[in-house]
Structure formats: structure tokens, C-alpha cells
Amino acid sequence: MIVKTKLIPKGFQAMSLWPFIFVLPEHSSNTGLIEHELVHYREQAWVAPIWWVRYLCSKSFRQAAEVRAYKRQIEVGGITKEWAAVMLLSYNLGITFSESLKEFE
């Protein structure tokens, strides 16, 4: 279920917390962004608390989850590989831009 709301942590445009996807009203028609969130949403089905614990505690889990979601976003034409690589740097993963870019090549 997609919920348009302004109550999203600062710096985010959308957030999946199964069974909901929260999205800022001004981004609710961004298909690429919604597809990105749907990747997280499907992975969280029935196991959202476990997913979130792993996401917050494990850099490698977070990185893999974001790479899957950004690949989907690229696939639907939402963003370029380079932009996905820039975005990936904002998840506190301790990786460089070239390492990030490699994930999408």
C-alpha cells in the first residue's frame, strides 16, 4: 500500500516498511523511485522487522539490498548507472565512487 506523507526521515524521498511504502507527495509519481521501493517491499514481505535489523546493522546487507533496488530503478529508466553510484555513497557503506560504480557495470 502506497502512502503519501511528509513524515519521512530527512534526506529520504521514500521508505518501505512492509506492508506500506511511504513516499513524499511530490515524489509519488516517480515510477523509478516506486520501483526501487517495491524491491525492498517484496524482500520485506512478512519479515520486515528482521529485514530492518539486518539493513541497519550490516553494511554488506544494506549495500546488496540497495544495489538490487537501484538496478531495478535503472532498468525502468528512472536514473543512470552513474547517478545510482552517487546515490549509493549516501548509505554509509564505506565504499569509494569507483567501487560503487562497479556494482552497476
In the complex, which residues of this chain contact Zn ion (CB under 5 A)?
66, 69
Least distance CB 9 / Zn ion (angstroms): 12
Least distance CB 37 / Zn ion (angstroms): 7
Nearest residue to Zn ion, using CB? 69
Q: Closest CB to Zn ion among 62 and 99?
A: 62
Least distance CB 86 / Zn ion (angstroms): 14
Are 35 and 18 in contact by the 8 Å Cβ rule? The answer is no
Main-chain dihedrals φ then ψ at residue 39, nearest 5 degrees: -65, -50
Q: Closest CB to Zn ion among 66 and 103?
A: 66
Q: How far is CA 6 from CA 3, 18, 87, 99, 105, in A?
A: 10, 18, 21, 33, 34
